[in-house]
Chain A
């Protein structure tokens, strides 16, 4: 009887979610992907637990500051390649309500998931809530960088918050951690079963800690870590000179990383199941980390290495992160700027290189909530590396609500400041006009500036509004 009542409640919860979904679509509330979660949770607070228990292959979650969207999409692509039916939450709906909404939308009216497995990207601070309810077989932590300061106050605290969820994983659950990020790696001490991934390639050493390094001190004892190699930010190989903390042994490893300009990157993957050459259609070391994490998640979920390779190599990139848009006889290459580490990677990959030929560049910095309201981080970006490079380049066009700050930053890196056009629409039009036919305009916007620039390009007939190709 009690059980039947539970099922009725679940049924009503799913029904309520369906009508909420229809209503928000009718209102074109765009995205509208958390409302059904809110509604169904109100009717049945255990809806997430009930549904995730009925997933034949269980649920996995990915969290971290950088790359969780790209990594989650890579894993989805791998699962599709391997014919595993998976349910995902949509970008921007990465709190417990969004996760619930995804599972509710995937299940039949009687409360049975249509998918075999669930794969969620989860906001760092929401991990405990999701883990407490979703029976996670696997929780992957990619990295912890400082661009979350606005939201959470403190990085070490955030690590504690994430680790506090480990006890809620089922007995066969494990955590997958980035061994090269000291704070993330240190969380493994709190886990029943921890698996690590990392990069091993001394040719990637930046030679010095970038100025953005966040957790360069030992997460255990607080003394400055000694780095063997620094790959990006505070990520690299390290030892504590004071205590026994050191980078853990990795089960999944990327070696022999080779960058093929803006188009592709290759590396050798070694996993418990064997070794394999990977060639991904995305630039930059950060995408090597994303691909490595995706391979590890998929492998831990039981996908064969051959399918992982096919899935990763056929992956085209997530919306907005890296995107090419044909604009008449010209091309616009959009590269989303999220934080100083990502910005440095983009500068290193596209702008500083002498062969990549980023000759026409537009930078657009907004400071809305979704961009980060504090633009101090611009000073942590290593623009100085450009002053040393010999690549032929036009002065950067600068745009965004914080165009002024960006112009000052360039000036203090001894770089020529081009046009300062705060209005994003006007700036992209002018920059495209100034780009000769057959050439590429590199556009480096923060999140909301990217949406605005895309809208302008769309109005010019160069692409579709973003909700149509999601």
Chain B
């Protein structure tokens, strides 16, 4: 698993859920100025930062690092971008100072800064994600972003049940393209949404072994945390 400036809760979540099943995991931290290749990694977590760091990250990703990430995604690699990471996966991102930062360009979307009369979008979120079998899965998290993301053709990750999502207007949240996911949800995202974590793990391993099936775990603690937050979000 490769961790690019990511969220610690997400890293721990994947790591533990693999360890508990006897799947060995190694976490490679890739920092500013460090190259992605050679990876040998199956899952890529992409976090982000505050405005000033976003500029440094955009710069860092403008060369081969961004191109590598793009080709990993295009080849069906499992990538999860959260908040600032998600924003940088679009075509461009504009900071509060009006600086236009180029994105990696995995998703066909862009992010505008909030206008002076607009609030930051902060709060608990509940999102419904359409699944391949026609059913829907739910995830909960916390969002805190000033930027408004507009989808310019990218498919959303899901629909907002409660909260703001991409821009607080069109009811969409995040983006998805094959096995690459972008979302504003942290909280951290993966610990309280174990089915989604397992989906990342399973997809990643299936890419090399398509007979692989993930052993179920006892998720009682996670499920009751999910329930209490989602009940709270629904109440408003």
Contact = CB atoms under 8 A, between A and B. Distances in A.
A376 B187 contact: yes
A322 interface: no
B191 A408 contact: yes
A224 B31 contact: yes
B206 interface: no
A224 B96 CA distance: 24
B187 A154 contact: no
Contacts, number: 88
Given A156-B52, A412-B12, A412-B191, A407 B7 contact: no
Interface string A402-435: 0111011101101001001010000000000000
B225 A407 contact: yes
B91 interface: no
B144 A154 contact: no
A155 B120 CA distance: 16
Contacts of B146: 153
B144 A374 contact: yes
B152 interface: no
B224 A420 contact: yes
A217 interface: yes
Contacts of A157: 50-52
Given A155-B50, A408-B191, A150 B221 contact: no
Given A373-B142, A374-B187, A376-B142, A154 B50 contact: yes
B16 interface: yes
Contacts of B229: 404-405
A13 to B, nearest CB: 32
Interface string B194-236: 0000000000000000000000000001101111110010000
Contacts of A156: 50-52
Contacts of B50: 149, 153-157
A373 B122 contact: yes
A169 B13 CA distance: 49
Interface residues of A, number: 32
Contacts of B124: 373
Contacts of B31: 224
A254 B9 CA distance: 35
B32 interface: yes
B110 interface: no
A369 to B, nearest CB: 11
B119 to A, nearest CB: 11
B7 A379 contact: yes
Interface in A40-91: none
A417 B124 CA distance: 25
Interface in B96-127: 96, 120, 122-124
B148 interface: no
A405 B192 contact: yes
Contacts of B16: 412, 414
A211 interface: yes
Given A407-B221, A407-B225, A408-B221, A376 B52 contact: no
A222 B221 contact: no
B116 to A, nearest CB: 14
A149 B143 CA distance: 12
B144 A150 contact: yes
A194 interface: no
B144 A217 contact: no
A464 B227 CA distance: 36
A161 interface: no
Given A404-B224, A404-B228, A405-B225, A374 B52 contact: no
A339 to B, nearest CB: 15
A404 B227 CA distance: 9
A375 interface: yes
Nearest to A156: B52
Contact of A379 (B9, B120, B224, B227): B9
Interface string B4-17: 00011100110010
A380 interface: yes
Interface of A: 149-150, 153-157, 211, 217, 222-224, 373-376, 378-380, 401, 403-405, 407-409, 411-412, 414, 417, 420, 422
Given A404-B229, A405-B192, 16 more contacts: A149-B144, A153-B146, A154-B52, A157-B51, A211-B8, A217-B53, A222-B56, A224-B31, A374-B142, A374-B186, A374-B187, A379-B191, A404-B225, A407-B224, A407-B225, A420-B224
19 contacts: A156-B50, A156-B52, A157-B50, A157-B51, A217-B56, A373-B142, A374-B144, A374-B186, A375-B187, A376-B9, A378-B9, A379-B8, A379-B9, A380-B8, A403-B228, A404-B227, A408-B192, A412-B12, A412-B191
The list of the 9 closest CB pairs from A to B, nearest first, reads A404-B225, A379-B9, A404-B228, A154-B50, A374-B142, A156-B52, A408-B225, A379-B8, A379-B188
